[in-house]
A and B are shown apart, each in its own frame.
Chain A
Amino acid sequence: MTVDMAHLAHQALFGAVAAAGFGVLFNFELRALPWCAAAGAVALFVRTLGLDAHMSLEAASFVAATVVGLAVRLLLPRQRQASSAMALAGCIPMVPGSFFAQAILGLLALTTAVEANAAAMIATTLEYTLRVLFTVGAIGTGLTIPTHLLGNREF
């Protein structure tokens, strides 16, 4: 496995930017935003490492979400009721929104596809759709497992 440190740092940095930006949208307090950014950075760091190790996007997203879920619970024990939300904010940059849009665009395109292209288009659209489903599923599962294994205290 070869790790491109510059690429890893780049992905972590912009994962942090995306998570902090969405933290503002979700009305996190200003003092909580660095934690959202850190969660986003960890998520993208781990996912990129996983992809570099030739894991699939879904598997890498699952591992990253699990690590983020565990990390916020272990590092922020006094804020357990807020840690789920922080982990969620950190994982938002991994939600494959562009795949989702491309899947639906593919479905739209199928209605006008010429017969010769139809099979390839169906395959691509199906691939995008499945990747969205499995990646969102992997992130949700990865976030839920630490919550239930380490105690489900939300209040």
Chain B
Amino acid sequence: MSETDPVLLRHRALEQIAMVALQAARVLMESGARGQVIHQCAEMVAKGLGAERVAFRSGYASLAITVTGGANSITRMVDVGRHAVNHQLDQGIRKLAVRVAQGGMTPAETRQEIERLAQGTRRHPTWLVAVAVGLACAGFGRLLGVDWPGFAAIVVASTAGQYLRHLLLVRKVNPFVVAAVVAFLSAAMGGLGARLVGSGTVSLALMASVLLLVPGVPALNAQIDIMEGSPTLGSARAVTVIFIMVFVTVGVWLAQSLVRLAP
């Protein structure tokens, strides 16, 4: 087979299209998008780059695509990294998918743009995220009936918990282990802190301090994915949510024991 074999050249072109479409889909998946959005994105990118037909499969840990052009087709798969939520990156990839679908971009340009978005989309400063999460959990606490001394304890406990979570995830510690460790720290700080400042709602403050760990977006995405025709992905998300909560509960349980034992 020579270097100018048209079938070989067409396969190479299709491979580039498949890999770029998968790259866009992977970034969307890692940013917390729903299954249907990921499917649409991959299809828009692949067709915008010249594929005639696209078949796509999304799993929790991997994505696969088959792109067809004329009589040729090619199937490729990529793995997916840690699932998180990043709205700005999600929106950046969606806008790029629209531009690619309008035509005129090459696979290389699209790949460069995806890499630029993935590396260049800024996150809020760590301290700001930690304080915001602390206030959010304290807000949750007020919704559950926590008093004002308990509110202050939750702010401190959840801020510290979010900061620790960030440090551990940056070091690529297993997310389930992170959930248990952060749950223990936040719940213990929330419970002991609330008792220290004379709160009458120590148990509620302890529980509200770990609400930063409740995987709300994956829980809702799980249901919506199943409703929108991706039961495999939705089920995997649901199982992950349940296991995260099991690890959170282990941390809470240990913290409750500590708070009971503390003088």
Contact = CB atoms under 8 A, between A and B. Distances in A.
15 contacts: A20-B132, A21-B132, A21-B135, A21-B136, A22-B136, A24-B124, A93-B139, A95-B216, A101-B252, A104-B246, A105-B253, A136-B219, A140-B220, A141-B223, A144-B224
B112 interface: no
Interface residues of B, number: 58
A23 B219 CA distance: 16
A14 B86 contact: no
Contact of A27 (B40, B85, B134, B220): B85
A141 B4 CA distance: 54
Contacts of A93: 139-140, 143
B62 interface: no
B217 A26 contact: yes
Given A27-B123, A155-B40, A98 B208 contact: yes
Given A104-B249, A136-B220, A155 B41 contact: yes
Contacts of B63: none
A21 B154 CA distance: 14
Contact of A18 (B41, B101, B139): B139
A138 to B, nearest CB: 10
A20 B136 contact: yes
Contacts of A25: 85, 129, 132-133, 136, 162, 212
Given A25-B136, A98-B207, A154 B245 contact: no
Contact of A100 (B89, B128, B214, B228): B214
Interface stretch (A52-60, A81-89, A114-122): A81-89
Contact of B207 (A11, A28, A101, A141): A101
Contact of B135 (A17, A29, A44): A17
Given A21-B139, A24-B128, A27-B85, A155 B97 contact: yes
Interface in A73-87: 81-82, 84-85
B129 A24 contact: yes
A117 to B, nearest CB: 17
B192 interface: no
Contact of A102 (B121, B134, B138, B207): B207
B220 A97 contact: no
A81 B94 contact: yes
A45 B144 CA distance: 15
Contact of A11 (B128, B143, B212, B249): B143
Contacts of B12: none
Contact of B216 (A17, A32, A97): A97
B217 A154 contact: no
A38 interface: no
B220 A139 contact: yes
